[in-house]
Amino acid sequence: MAYTLSKEDEALREQIRKMALEKVAPRAAEIDREGKYPWDMQKLLAENGLLGLAIPEEYGGSGASMLSNCIVAEELARICATTSLIFVVQKLAAYPIVLAGSEEIKKKYLPPVARGEKLAAFCLTEPEAGSDAGATATIATEKDDHFVLNGKKCFITNGGLAEVHSVFAMTDPERGIKGISAFVVEKGYPGFSAGKIEDKMGLRGAQVAELIFEDVPVPKENMLGKRGDGFIIAMKTLDNSRPLVGAQALGIAQGALDVAVDWAKKRKQFGSPIGKLQGIQFLLADMKTKVEAARQLIYRAATLCDENHPDISIFSAMSKLLASDVAMSVTTDAIQVMGGYGYMKDHPLERMMRDAKVTQIYEGTNQIQRVVIARRLLGKL
């Protein structure tokens, strides 16, 4: 089933593409080179109402569809993956609150997140609990009118910068994944701090950090859903964010393809543009085919999310899996098209290749996506 965008979504694409080319492109290489969080890009997204795009209107957002969100993520990543990540993570981190927060919690935290006044962070991964969420070691102990959190999270995007955190911790360790609960934790709570800031291969402008919880008091009303709902909340959140990561990967791939096609038209060898060489033509043809296949699957997954379809999990996993593998494949081949020039930091492809790699890792590794897909196919054996 091919997906044709509505006039509104086509207009959104053109709007974001224009903004990205005019405002983001001049900063993309510098953001990567400096390795500092680009507050100017965060401000740009906030001023254009993009950080609240996925948040319901009644809480200060736009209530836009997942498909619209994917279009924005794609167009931003086409130019700068770090800027796209600012957009993607704000949605990811806010979704547990949208999904399971009480009315009071939603009214308190979502409006400033939607306006971009406060950054948000999604805090699930731990040193010993990556793909295995059941190994979560951060403990939330009930005490009087609050919970006390102790533990450590790692690889948290916006760590040390975010003011609103969706945190997953064990309230009942003996129950395994059914003993995980979710909480909103504010930056200023006593005992809550950022540890190591990671030095990363790609997405150099994104701040990724360790977060430390030392007797952190969290009000009981900050629990999202019921006690023990944390794992379900986390999985539903990932189901509704993996297409966005797929869209980010797609944008990187499309950006790399754009560079490669332009180079093949202009670069001359043996007296003619290299685009006349069949070897180059075949590379470009395969790249284009992969990009379009990934786009169709992402749009399909996004549409199912908007419909709350029972097949969300498998399509979300497939879209993230395919698009991120395509991003690595296409950026690698694009560098091959450019030859030695593509390997140099004077050109954007080496940055795109480094940025693409993490899309195969975060939001669940691609091996985990294959597990999700296979289990949905096979059921209980």
Query: Do the Cβ atoms of 288 and 361 come closer than 8 Å?
Result: no
Of residues 116, 136, 138, the one with CA closest to residue 54: 116
| Chain-centroid distance, C-alpha 163 | 18
Residues 133, 105, 303: CA angle, nearest 5 degrees:
60
User: Is 363 an annotated catalytic residue?
Assistant: yes
Q: Find all residues with CB under 8 Å of 312, minimum gap 6, and list them.
A: 239, 240, 301, 304, 305
Task: Please provide the DSSP assignment of 163-208 as one string.
Answer: SEEEEEEES-GGGGGGGEEEEEEETTSTTEEEEEEP--SS-TTS-E
Choice among 74, 75, 350, 363 that is catalytic:
363
Of residues 263, 245, 224, the one with CA closest to residue 316: 245
Distance spanning both ends of the chain, measured CA to CA: 31
Residue type, 259: V
Three-state DSSP class for 141? Answer: strand
Torsion angles phi and psi, residue 197, rounded to 5? -90, 125
Cβ neighbours of 361 (radius 10 Å): 14
Of residues 372, 349, 84, 338, the one with CA closest to residue 206: 84
Tell me the catalytic residues.
363
